[in-house]
Amino acid sequence: METTSAEKVIGLDDYRNNTQLENLEGISRLSLKLQQSIELTPLLQTFCEQTADLVPCDSVGYNNEDIEFSYQAGQREKHHCKYRLVLEGDQLGELLCTRKTPFTIRETQLLERIISLLIYPLRNALLYHNAIAQAHKDPLTQIFNRAAFDEALDKECHAYRRHKTEFSIMMIDIDFFKAVNDNYGHIAGDKILKATAEIIRQTIRRSDEVYRYGGEEFVVILSNTSEGGAHFIAERVRKEIQKLRVSFNRLIKVTASIGICSSETTKDVTLLLGNADKALYHSKETGRNRVSVYP
């Protein structure tokens, strides 16, 4: 559904019975609520739940492939109304409303009126979402940065304390990186950092995330992963990095040392990062291009 500056006017004469008056009041309440949230998930939660109350729906969902974000309230059914949201040429995603029985013309008109209320709050929420995402991205490698890692680790530690869900930390350091910068320059070093980040991202599981921790160091949080599982993934990452050749006047070979630590090794999960770093140091001290486990 593409919105324009000319908005359809709904007059009180169109709402002669109690149900229609209640719909008008519900639309007014929804409009106010949508102005109160700048974050995507709370905004869409409010919209989807309130829309299902105004127009009987079994599910209301939103999807935005550009930012890999989706939200759905309810169970999807056979009959649906689907809207592509566009504002001033900007693609804002898609909305899908479903239920067991077909929607009437009156109901689709009401749906479109309700959806028009979402457009500007949604655009603002997307702008905010993108700003936050960029603040958490490393500009060189385009993976998440240290600030994003700190937040993710805090959430993982909280989940561990609450549910005792084991997880592991994997720290990765490019071997002899200073020598590369000294011999070939920082442009070559940057190419190696970007290539290594991409190899790690492609090799770990889709449920995991890699972060640039600083300099030539990367860190991965492995959710729901034991020490054994972490070691298996770390070896796979190490072998893939070992295959890497970066072209810069000549082919530069890349290897990395890795340290891993499981949440089961300490009662204080805040020590995990330090323990993983100790394991990484052991890999460096014992020959590099290897995986070490703490303790």
The verdict on whether 240 is a catalytic residue reads no
- Whether the CB-CB separation of 91 and 69 falls below 8 Å is answered with no
* Number of other CB atoms surrounding residue 66 within 10 Å: 11
The CA-based angle 289-279-218, given to 5 degrees, is: 65
Structure tokens at 200: 């790690």
From CA 39, how far away is CA 124, in angstroms rounded? 9
DSSP-assigned letter for residue 36: T
Residue 217 CA to residue 257 CA, distance in Å, equals 10
The distance between the two most distant Cα atoms of the chain, rounded to a whole number of Å, is 82
Would you state the structure tokens that stand for residue 50, as one six-digit string?
Answer: 């309130």
Residue of 216, 217, 227, 235 marked active site: 216
* Helix/strand/coil for 181: helix
Measured between alpha carbons, how far is 107 from 128 in angstroms, rounded to an integer? 32
- Do 210 and 200 contact (CB within 8 A), yes or no? yes
Phi, psi of 30 (to 5 degrees): -65, -40
- Do 60 and 95 meet the contact criterion of CB atoms below 8 Å apart? yes
> How many C-beta atoms surround the C-beta of residue 5 within 10 A?
5
| Residue 24 DSSP SS3 | helix
- Catalytic sites, residue numbers: 216
